[in-house]
Amino acid sequence: MPVAYRNQHYAELKKQHNKENLFEDPEFPATNSSLYYKKPPPGVVQWKRPGEICENPHLFVEGISSHDLNQGIVGNCWFVAACACLALKSNLWEKVIPDWKEQEWDSNYAGIFHFRFWIFGEWIDVVIDDRLPTINGQLIYCQSKQNNEFWSALLEKAYAKLFGCYESLAGGNTGDAVVDFSGAVVEAIDLQKEKYYADQNKQDKFFEDLLKAWNRGGIISSSIKPQGFRLESRTDNGLVRGHAYSVTDVKRVRLGHGLRAYFKNETIPLIRLRNPWGKTEWTGAWSDSSEEWSKIGETERGNLGITVADDGEFWMSFTDWCKNFSDADVCRLINTSLISIQKNWDEAVNFGKWTRNSDPLLNRCGGCVNHRQTFLQNPQYLFDVTKESDEVLISLQQKDRKIYRKEGQGDNLSMGFNILKVEVNRKYRLHDLVTQQLLHTSTYIDARTVFMRCELPKGRYVVIPTTFDAFIEGEFMLRLYTDVDSGCRELVKDKPQTKCWTPLFGYPQVVTHIYVDRAEIGQQGDQAEGINPYLIISCESQSVKSIAKKNSLTPEFQFSAIFFRKKVREPLTVQLWSDDLGSDKFLGQVTLSGRPDDVSHLQQLQLKNKGSKEADNMPGKIALRILTSDELTAL
């Protein structure tokens, strides 16, 4: 159920108003405070209702289209581009513009409308009146090509209300607006850094990924960094720098004419874009009237809907797109439905805060890994990869700060996250980096969302979202997607409870971390076939087991476990076994005292027998490290 913004309930308010008593929104009044906080519009502004601007106003004229919108005088091409993307997806815009048939102008018109946005994990219902800012009788912000169509202008007003005023929408990110329209997961891609244009294999893989995202309902936009040029200056081929374009189609187009084209099956990847200005197009290859279109049959051209008009929409080759644009936002609608023919994901959502505290165990804003003394004081989230290997998607989103632009504090925090491989039985917060394996570090950037996809082997992991600098406070939402349930949860406790001591069971006195790096297995013939070694690490009544390494006499495990020990004098054992078709074979073990003063560096130990023959050597060695501390929050 959507949350009513500022407790304004559309249905209740509409009942209280009619044509003779039109709604006037006290929460977003028709005053300068709703327009700007610093830079006023260039002229005398009058607030007018659609019926005062034109005759026969409508929410939609002949349906909704990406061609409906044009940018106004405020620098919000990013928002207009997002609206153009939205217009292509009926399943999305019908959520954003609810009850759209009922909201059309009719006998129930009362000057009140409502729109919905997905803000920080929940749908927010925003009520507005339809008084719109004009200069000389013309809309000054987002507007439709048809002068009696108002869905885009009203949608923009609701969005401006969310962030305080229209000027707060000057400058933004198309991907962020798309997320607010859909709840999608946005991935920002640096096209120049990745150099897709220079590597054909890499480019082909990228195109297939974008095509898959597009066909599954994804939304794509792109832009060009000014890089020393004036903002909104034009390139030699008609593109505009510092300007957001919406992608309106992604296709592999068949070359050739007639039946020969079908048998030859030669294709070219093309991408279609739209300039929010509604004019000014790409003039290079595959532009509206370029000679390249002669390579395409009439039927194929008809299917693509080629029009030779300066309407702001144009095709270009995928290679040229990769070469000429610098940035792209790919918004994926992640399918979490269990009933679907498409790939579905398991979703885990966690909300958290970076908060400051003088107590290191309570501080939760430790900064990035550069701040080694405080890094592990950040929030920590544990998850498991239970398959042999799994693709993991992680999205870290901070609360949008455009609402603070009026106060001069609207900049995003610079943030990112790290993924650490941890002990297979880890249950409590990490306190020492020495014992952990840092696998991946995301980009750190002052963007609203930071995204990463990575392939992880079976094991237990901790993701740590952080601000770049230490002691910076803020709120975030962490979304994690895996193929199967990851059990993602925040690590809250620092150590086991020590209040429930009994003479029988005692309480933890030391903590021990064991890391097994590798092993060497000696046997006659040195044949690895059929030797599938795995580890069992045991401590008191607990034991953990590693995955088996197939056909190896020199397995690399990089396997670790952690134990909070009550019986300090009781040793730990690390056993090596081979999984041999259900008939497991013992290959040797080492016994460790695990005292705080033991050697803590990586050491290679001789495998021994067990039971009554414990002193006998077994053919093989194992390399491991063991750390023990009587401070339970040391590891």
Within 268-420, residue ranges assigned H as helices are 298-304, 318-324
Q: Do 470 and 366 contact (CB within 8 A), yes or no?
A: yes
Q: Between 384 and 311, whose confidence is greater?
A: 384
3-state helix, strand, coil in the chain (%, to 5): 20, 35, 45
Instruction: Let me know if 357 is a catalytic residue.
Output: no
Q: For 100-158, what is each residue's pLDDT tens digit? A: 888 988 878 999 999 999 999 999 999 999 999 999 988 998 888 888 999 999 999 99
The band of 278, judged by pLDDT with boundaries at 50, 70 and 90, is confident
pLDDT given at position 77: 79
Mean pLDDT of 187-193: 92
pLDDT given at position 271: 94
In the chain, the percentage of residues whose pLDDT exceeds 90 is 59
Q: Which of 76, 77, 371, 418 is catalytic?
A: 77
Q: For 586-629, what is each residue's pLDDT tens digit? A: 999 999 999 988 888 899 999 999 876 767 888 899 999 999 99
H or E stretch at 396: strand 381-398
Q: What residue segments make up the domains of the chain, in order of their start?
A: 3-182, 185-332, 346-490, 510-629
Instruction: Let me know if 77 is a catalytic residue.
Output: yes
Q: Inter-axis angle of helices 77-87 and 151-162, to 10 degrees?
A: 130
Q: Which of 190, 270, 194 is nearest to 222 (CA)?
A: 190
| pLDDT at 76 > cutoff 80 | no
pLDDT given at position 338: 59
| pLDDT at 422 > cutoff 90 | yes
pLDDT given at position 307: 63
pTM: 0.88
The topology (CATH level 3) of 346-490 is Jelly Rolls (2.60.120)
Q: How many angstroms separate the CA atoms of 274 and 268, rounded?
A: 20
pLDDT given at position 289: 80
Question: May I ask the CATH class of domain 510-629?
Answer: mainly beta
- What are residue 447's phi and psi, to 5 degrees? -100, 160
Q: Which of 70, 85, 243, 371 is catalytic?
A: 243
Q: For 531-556, what is each residue's pLDDT tens digit? A: 899 999 999 989 999 999 988 899 99
Q: For 238-250, what is each residue's pLDDT tens digit? A: 898 888 888 999 9
Q: Which of 82, 188, 78, 118 is nearest to 450 (CA)?
A: 188
pLDDT given at position 555: 93
| pLDDT at 339 > cutoff 80 | no
Q: Which of 76, 275, 350, 532 is catalytic?
A: 275
Q: Which CATH architecture has domain 185-332?
A: Alpha-Beta Complex (3.90)
pLDDT given at position 287: 87
Say yes or no: do domains 185-332 and 510-629 share a fold: no
